[in-house]
Structure 1
Amino acid sequence: MTEVTPELACPIAPVVDIVFSRWTTPILWTLNEYGRQRFVELERRIGPITPKVLTQRLRQLERDGLITRTYHREVPPRVEYEISPLGLTLAPLFATLATWAKTNLPAVDESRHAYDSDNRPRP
């Protein structure tokens, strides 16, 4: 009997794990929208992310080849991040998801509201 792995059951599962983890999408979206940025700029644009988590995610994205990190030997040192050519290949996917969100999230909200109204605890 052949064992079904998540990758075989859903061929996009590895992509979802890489691209759609908690802070990865906002980081990639921000770098795609605004271009090369320093750590503090990214932190400001992304919102409530801790510096530790942002550092971890940036390192993972660099390891995955989705962003590049440029270190400038200056005083004080300057580091910039930008989306890599590989990361740019995700732009059409993000554009499609943004369109889907704009078109369909109101219906999702309506569905949730209807579900919650029908399934609220009864005395």
Structure 2
Amino acid sequence: MTSKSITFITENPFDKKPRKKHPRLSAEKISKYLSMSQAEACHHLGVSLSTLKRRFYELNMGKWPCKKTRSKSSKSYISTIINKTMKDEKDLSELSSCCVDWLVVFSSI
């Protein structure tokens, strides 16, 4: 008679997976990408944006120097809003002059 043993392997699906280790970001590595936006730099470095930001501030490097440039569409959107505001102000001034004329007419009656 042979004895058979049964082994159950149980895995907890809620166990945390080990974190992926990112390459250590040094000030020298980060400084190569300061001319880019943060999104471009994190893509080239192979890390997430939050990892790049956290490491940048841990190294006391201040604020990210690359400024985001505005696209043509945002500039045209701003000019559209300005033009609409100016048109609304013109319409409002015409309306107020019309109201004054009506007040003069009604006050004389």
Return the TM-score normalized by structure 2: 0.31
- Between Structure 1 and Structure 2, the one with more helix by share is 1
Q: Which of these two proteins has the greater Rg computed from alpha carbons?
A: 2
- Between Structure 1 and Structure 2, the one with more strand by share is 1
Return the TM-score normalized by structure 1: 0.28
